[in-house]
Amino acid sequence: MSSQSSNQIRGLISDIQRFSIHDGPGIRTTVFLKGCPLACYWCHNPETQAAHPQIMIHRNLCIRCGNCVNACPVGCIRLDADGVRIDRSKCLQCGACARACPAEALKLDSRWMTPAETLSVLRVDASFYQQSGGGVTFSGGEALTQIDFLQETLRLCKSEGYHTTVDTSGYCEQATLERILPFTDLFLYDLKAGDDATHVRGTGKHLQTIHDNLRFLVQKGAAIYIRIPIIPGFNDNDEEMGKIAAFLTPMANAIARVELLPFHRLGIVKYEALDRAYKAADLAPVSQERMRRLARPFYTAFDQVEIG
Amino acid sequence: MYSKVQLPVRIKELEDELYSIRTQTCYERAKIITGSYQKTEGLPTVLRRGRAFQDILTQMPLYIREKELIVGSRSSHLGWETSYPEYDLEDHDAWPEEVRAYWTGKTIHDLSNQLYPPIVPISEAEHVSGYTTGTKTGIGHGIAAYDKVLRIGFRGILEELDAALQTAGDDQSGVDFLNAAKSACTGMIAWANRYADLAENLAKTANAARAKELADIAAVCRHVPEHPARSFREALQSFWFVHVALHIEQKGWSISTGRFDQYMYPYYRADIEKGLITDGEAFELLLNLWVKFMENIEGELKKTQFQNLTLGGQDQAGNDLSNAFSHMCLDATMLTGYTQPALSVRWHSAVDHDFWAHAMRTIATGVGMPALFNDEIIMKELEAHGTSADDTWNYAVVGCVEPAIPGKQMGMTAGGHVNVAKALELALFNGRSLFTGVQMGPATGEAAAFSSFDQLWEAYEKQSRYLMAVTLLTGNVAGTVQKLLGHCPMHSCLLDDCIARRRDMVDGGVRYSLSGTAVIGTPDACDGLLAIKKLVFEEKRYTLQQICRAMEANFEGYEEMRQILLHQPCRFGNDIPEADEMANKVNRVHSEFCVAHPDMRGGHYTCGIWPVNDHVAAGKFTAALPDGRHKGAPLADGVGACHGADVNGPTALLKSVARLNNVRDWQGGNTCNIKFSKMSIHSPKGIETMGDLAETFMKLGGQELQINVVDAATLHKAQENPEEYANLVVRVAGYSAYFVTLSRSIQDEVIARTEQAI
């Protein structure tokens, strides 16, 4: 442990989802950590982007009791015709309103947990991991933004014998990545574009770091699945896929699987709950046929190409 | 090999005709039994029943369908409903005059009504207790020794009966039973020969191909079920004659096949090995049998007959018994998608991996079957309740989820119902129903007087026991009327030890008797008690009177309190040991009560929970509850969580359910239903994961699991009727939500993705 002792570490966690079946092998529990250096406009977990707690408002659940208005220490909540309104510029994210809300219409989107507390939640489904060859997955947000917590929690998971997976954008310092290598059995490594200008347009960041880190993981012999979200109008064309494939092909032996994940709009509910506009709200879903076409450049070099 | 994607033309044609039937009542059986009873006035009932059954089989108009290879039906026309006047005249309006005149005042229902104490109609009116099988129908719910007929034929059984008569001495009622059984068995042989005659007659005018088929049918029916089956086809036909005849003898449902893949397999294997039949021919015959199971529903196919068929499981040494024919049965259901027979698969620690995977693939088609059963729990359960360890390994499933030993156990797994959520309502209102104000339970004190949780608990226990007592009372009424009027001598020949004891199955002839009761609403009672324990007695946030006022108002004006009650975190189904222990405490009350009470056939009562739709019906008459549930809303389905209470996902729910003390409390079987959208589980990996989920549940000690994989058509239905699909969760990477709470456009997107998932 570098700067903090184990019992001082806290992670800011937006959700711990048991029975996750799409984030690595078998039945898993996925820990969603808050904070992300990228800003993908299609992101379906917008609550995980900010590195601080936020209030989410589910207006359909509000019973208009007004308890939140009274509970707010800075008076930034009012009830109007649509239900609860929060002046987010004044909100302290203290969570007093959420604690006062009987209907769970207001919820703090995250909580601070120690590695040991997190492990105690992960432990309860160990029998399911064992049966299914599953384990635990750390996702986000970008899990690596909370490296101290991540490293220590991964270490605890390995000491319990769990299979560990980290779902990452790869956008971090190489040294950060290096810290979790000994405790990570599988990386789910996201690639959003093959072209740097496209990547910047969609995520706000350059590709270089992500490419370098993937090469680093390959060189270290890590187990890797590549995950490519297919976003209509952004990367759903043969040219982008060709560039991603061209970049990956030299590393094909080290990459166990390529997964193409079709865009979905289900995150829209969360944008509404955060009072945020969703720039991908009007994108059409990608057809299965289109997905199969987009996957073609990968089949020659990779044994396992899956469409999620 | 046979096609797993396309139905044979013959089966498709049989199926098409089945789906286009227009039903009406067939009064033939009613007329024949009435005529028969008029001739046997004054004789002992068992003899009259045996004789009437024989008369029905020798006089009933028969038909053979255009394309079918397996024959035998209950009524005179395809899809018509058979009539049973001796049970209840309220079933139909248009009884022939002589039938109505003869049976008025003499039916089983009439006798039950005379025997009911006044509390029963009061309790039944609000669906609280009572509603016992056997008070206006037959008992059904059993597994006959089909294998015995395959092995020795009814000729062999007649020899057994003659031998028993030799030693019956002066046991006159025993002699009567044996003679009744002889009439019944003689009727079976005559009935099959009438089918042979009919087939031969039809052959005269049929085209050459069909004439050959009809000649084969005739040859088969001349031989079985009179004699032992010599081939796979004869075994199937013999089985089917017995199965239909069990439904002709009594007005019963949940008449189940037992371990069909076990007793059929030797015939299948022998014919395949000798080259007498191809896999394709065997599969077509099996599919024809599946059509017959559907026909036996009679009338509208959306009803069910609960004909349960058990596959797989272990032998006495713990070896897996699944075989090639077990796989073929799964394929038949996978290909047809038929709701009957209802398939059950037994799990144990040495289960064959391929067989288990095949079961999962069948489930993944969305047919909702097979249901999965845990040998290791159920065998312990049966042994704990008096079944010999030499028999438990051979259990099979009756009706929905009730375990029984084929050929050795009296059915009656479905006794009366009891709504224990209502017991909590009564406990809080001094025994009064909040619906009608009627005093339905004992006066156990007004809520205002309870100063501790234990005092409330004591009142709850008394109310629950009282409601159970009413139910067992109706169970005893059913036992009495069946013993007096409901003899089934043919069925009795296929249950040990009826012939040896010279007693009918309704009269204590059967070796094992475990009479089931169906408990409804235990999760609701559990969560209601927990809400009061936490918020009234521990946190002191509300008084008990405040909760009662809110219940009386159906939470109108108390929405804030309702939300707090609903979100009280200590609820069953979330992998919280304290909550799950409360469920065990609730269950112990009714299970101890049942086990302590003998039934009418030498066994005792047991508890099961398999509400079918009764959790909806009983919910309509249950007041608002302390867990925030509104008045009239459905109660929890089986041992699943209350609606919306299981917020930690399926692994948490299954851990809670596995924590229930199944061996002690749920000897009568229980149902745990979970639903997945096809979108979540459609890939080979998804299906494998589903198998792992189920297998972990079994290893943790779960008893039964039914997994429904929801397809796009069902999601469309959920859009139209959201209240019926309130529990349906959809999951995609990093996201899960109740389907019905999503906006319409997002729902449409989920449906689109589901349609793509094959």
Min Cα separation B566/chain A (Å): 8
Q: What CA–CA distance (Å, rounded) separates A182 from A158?
A: 9
- Determine the pLDDT at residue B644: 84
Minimum Cα–Cα distance from A66: chain B residue: B560
Cβ–Cβ below 8 Å for A269 and B743: yes
Min Cα separation B552/chain A (Å): 20
pLDDT one digit per residue (tens) for chain A, 308 residues? 444 555 689 999 999 999 998 899 999 999 999 999 999 999 999 999 999 999 999 888 899 999 999 999 999 999 988 789 999 999 999 999 999 999 999 999 999 999 999 999 999 999 999 999 999 999 999 999 999 999 999 999 999 999 999 999 999 999 999 999 999 999 999 999 999 999 999 999 999 999 999 999 999 999 999 999 999 999 999 999 999 999 999 999 999 999 999 998 888 889 999 999 999 999 988 888 999 999 999 999 999 999 97
CA atoms within 13 A on the CB side of B414: 26
Min Cα separation B692/chain A (Å): 5
Instruction: Mention every residue, 6+ apart, whose C-beta is less than 8 A from residue B74.
Output: B29, B82, B244, B247, B248, B296, B298
Q: For residue B750, which residues of chain A lie inside 8 Å, CB to CB?
A: 266
- Determine the pLDDT at residue A1: 42
Chain B interface includes A264 (CB < 8 A) = yes
Cβ–Cβ below 8 Å for A30 and B746: no
For chain A, the residue count is: 308
Chain B interface includes A232 (CB < 8 A) = no
Evaluate whether B74 touches B203 at the Cβ level (below 8 Å): no
Q: Is the dihedral of CA B123, B126, B130, B134 positive or negative?
A: positive
Which of A23, A44, A128 is opposite residue B693, by nearest beta carbon? A128
Residue B314 pairs with which residues in a beta bridge? B320
Q: What CA–CA distance (Å, rounded) separates A166 from A145?
A: 12
Element (H, E) at B533: none
3-class DSSP state of A255: strand
Evaluate whether B155 touches B226 at the Cβ level (below 8 Å): yes
- Determine the pLDDT at residue B246: 98
Say which amino acid occupies A67. Answer: N
Q: Where are the alpha helices (DSSP H) in A101-206?
A: 115-123, 126-132, 147-159, 174-180, 196-203
* Low-confidence spans in chain B with pLDDT less than 70: 302, 731-736, 756-758
Q: Where are the alpha helices (DSSP H) in A173-254?
A: 174-180, 196-203, 208-219, 238-248
Which of B683, B692, B699 is opposite residue A26, by nearest beta carbon? B692
Where b means 16+ CB within 10 Å and e means fewer, B47-62 reads: bbbbbbbbbbbebbee
Q: What CA–CA distance (Å, rounded) separates B647 from B633?
A: 19
Q: What CA–CA distance (Å, rounded) separates B326 from B9?
A: 23
Evaluate whether B482 touches B506 at the Cβ level (below 8 Å): yes
Q: Where are the alpha helices (DSSP H) in B60-145?
A: 97-103, 108-115, 119-125
- Determine the pLDDT at residue A118: 98
Element (H, E) at B736: strand B735-738
Q: What CA–CA distance (Å, rounded) separates B719 from B711?
A: 13
Interface of B with A in 625-654 (CB under 8 A): 648-652
- Determine the pLDDT at residue B750: 81
Q: For residue B743, which residues of chain A lie inside 8 Å, CB to CB?
A: 268-269
Q: What is the pLDDT of residues B256-306, one digit of tens each?
A: 999 999 999 999 999 999 999 999 999 999 999 999 999 999 877 767 889
Q: What CA–CA distance (Å, rounded) separates B399 from B496?
A: 20
Q: What CA–CA distance (Å, rounded) separates A54 from A45?
A: 13
Q: What ipTM goes with this model?
A: 0.95
Q: What is the pLDDT of residues B300-328, one digit of tens each?
A: 776 788 999 999 999 999 999 999 999 99
Q: What is the pLDDT of residues B344-379, one digit of tens each?
A: 999 999 999 999 999 999 999 888 899 999 999 999
- Determine the pLDDT at residue B732: 60
Which candidate, B69, B410, B490, B55, places its Cα nearest to that of B246? B490
- Residue for token digits 């009884």? B95
B578: which DSSP letter?
Answer: H
Cβ–Cβ below 8 Å for A285 and B732: no
Min Cα separation B755/chain A (Å): 10
Q: What CA–CA distance (Å, rounded) separates B624 from B616?
A: 14
Taking one residue from A and the other from B, the number of pairs with CB-CB distance under 8 angstroms is 107
Instruction: Mention every residue, 6+ apart, whose C-beta is less than 8 A from residue B41.
Output: none
Minimum Cα–Cα distance from A268: chain B residue: B746
B452: tokens are 């501790």
Which candidate, B404, B405, B436, B402, places its Cα nearest to that of B422? B436
- Determine the pLDDT at residue B747: 85
Cβ–Cβ below 8 Å for B692 and A268: no
Q: Crossing angle for the helix pair B232-249 and B146-166, nearest 10 degrees?
A: 60
Minimum Cα–Cα distance from B683: chain A residue: A308
Cα torsion A160, A162, A167, A170 to 10°: value is 60
Q: What CA–CA distance (Å, rounded) separates A54 from A14?
A: 10
Interface of A with B in 120-149 (CB under 8 A): 124-125, 127-128, 130-134, 139
B135: tokens are 């008070």
Evaluate whether B72 touches B241 at the Cβ level (below 8 Å): yes
Q: What CA–CA distance (Å, rounded) separates B431 from B368?
A: 40
Number of other residues whose CB lies within 10 A of the CB of residue A206: 13
Chain A interface includes B469 (CB < 8 A) = no
- Long-range contact set of residues B497-502: C-beta below 8 Å, sequence gap at least 24: B498/B177, B498/B181, B499/B160, B499/B161, B499/B164, B499/B178, B499/B181, B500/B164, B501/B174, B502/B164, B502/B168, B502/B171, B502/B173, B502/B174, B502/B175, B502/B177, B502/B178
The angle formed by the CA atoms of residues A37, A307 and A204, to the nearest 5 degrees, is 20
Interface of A with B in 93-112 (CB under 8 A): 102-104
Which of B651, B680, B681 is opposite residue A128, by nearest beta carbon? B651
Number of other residues whose CB lies within 10 A of the CB of residue A209: 16
Say which amino acid occupies B407. Answer: G
Q: What CA–CA distance (Å, rounded) separates A262 from B753?
A: 10
The angle formed by the CA atoms of residues B304, B308 and B310, to the nearest 5 degrees, is 155
Cβ–Cβ below 8 Å for A269 and B742: yes
